[in-house]
Amino acid sequence: MKLNYDEGAKIIKALADPNRLKIIDILSCGEMCACDILEHFDFTQPTLSHHMKVLMDCNIVECRKEGLWSYYSLNISNCNKLILFLMNLITDTDECICKDKSKCKC
Amino acid sequence: MKLNYDEGAKIIKALADPNRLKIIDILSCGEMCACDILEHFDFTQPTLSHHMKVLMDCNIVECRKEGLWSYYSLNISNCNKLILFLMNLITDTDECICKDKSKCKC
DNA sequence: TCAGTATATTGATATTTATCTATATATAAT
DNA sequence: ATTATATATAGATAAATATCAATATACTGA
């Protein structure tokens, strides 16, 4: 599966916040429940809930419910796909938009 | 140099737009002047100028002036640093925030 | 010097978003 | 049943931002 600009931008937008980057860093060690994640931050519980929703909407983070708790974890495969997308983007490949002679003279 | 969450988020925010992703894709083949970049888009010249400013403010893109023309190019080294930042973020490394026992029980 | 061209800046507007308080939901324990 | 706890949702607000039209700047060529 190859991401297009819109799909890529949606995921990147989800990462484009220092607090959400920190959440991803925290989850890189393994799954963690919301209340434990919240301890690392100064904002309120609904704000964390909002951030987790943003990360889940783009499938970078997943959730497992157990009793009262929600355990969050990274979807590493999708994280890797995003990084691959970025590496493709900055690399001069044959499929690059630049090679479309119909629109570009380069 | 290691990026922190704020620095990382600033760069990622600059990429968090489908049009700017396309600009980066276009520049991955080499430098190009603004008017040639603009041909790939439907928006106006001031809008492109705005997008280029955003990309330059976070040092992902550089500009070389020659007469009337502004030639833009990727700063590949900084692009790579961003990708490295993301790879570190999603990887369970020793420097991970999780290992800070003072705040986290994981 | 004047006209034309490439790009940047300004100011305005509509949309998005990060955050909060208040409240709802759902589960667990007594 | 009632109370407590973990999380989600709703609604409001302030800040950020993508875009445009209009204008400014700066260089080129006649």
Check if B98 contacts A (Cβ < 8 Å): yes
Express as a percent the part of chain B with pLDDT over 90. Answer: 83
Q: Which two tokens stand for residue A38?
A: 């919240």
Nearest chain A alpha carbon to B10: A16
Q: Is the Cβ pair B98, A18 closer than 8 Å?
A: no
Mean pLDDT of chain B: 90
List Cβ neighbours of A70 (8 Å cut-off, separation of 6 or more): A33, A34, A52, A63, A64
ipTM of the assembly?
0.89
Q: Is the Cβ pair B39, A106 closer than 8 Å?
A: no
A78 interaction partners in chain B (CB closer than 8 Å): none
CATH number of domain containing B78: 1.10.10.10
Instruction: Examine residue A77 and state whether it is found in any structural domain, yes or no.
Output: yes
Number of domains into which chain B is organized: 1
Q: What is the pLDDT of residue A3?
A: 79
The protein residue nearest D27 (Cα–C1') is: B68
Q: Which two tokens stand for residue B96?
A: 């991970």
User: Model confidence over B65-83: pLDDT tens digits?
Assistant: 999 999 999 999 999 999 9
User: Model confidence over A64-84: pLDDT tens digits?
Assistant: 999 999 999 999 999 999 999
User: Model confidence over B22-38: pLDDT tens digits?
Assistant: 999 999 999 999 999 99
Q: Which of B2, B15, B13 is nearest to B74 (CA)?
A: B15
How many Å apart are CA A30 and CA A39, to the nearest integer?
Answer: 16
- Asked if A47 CB < 7 A from strand C, the reply is yes
Instruction: Examine residue A105 and state whether it is found in any structural domain, yes or no.
Output: no
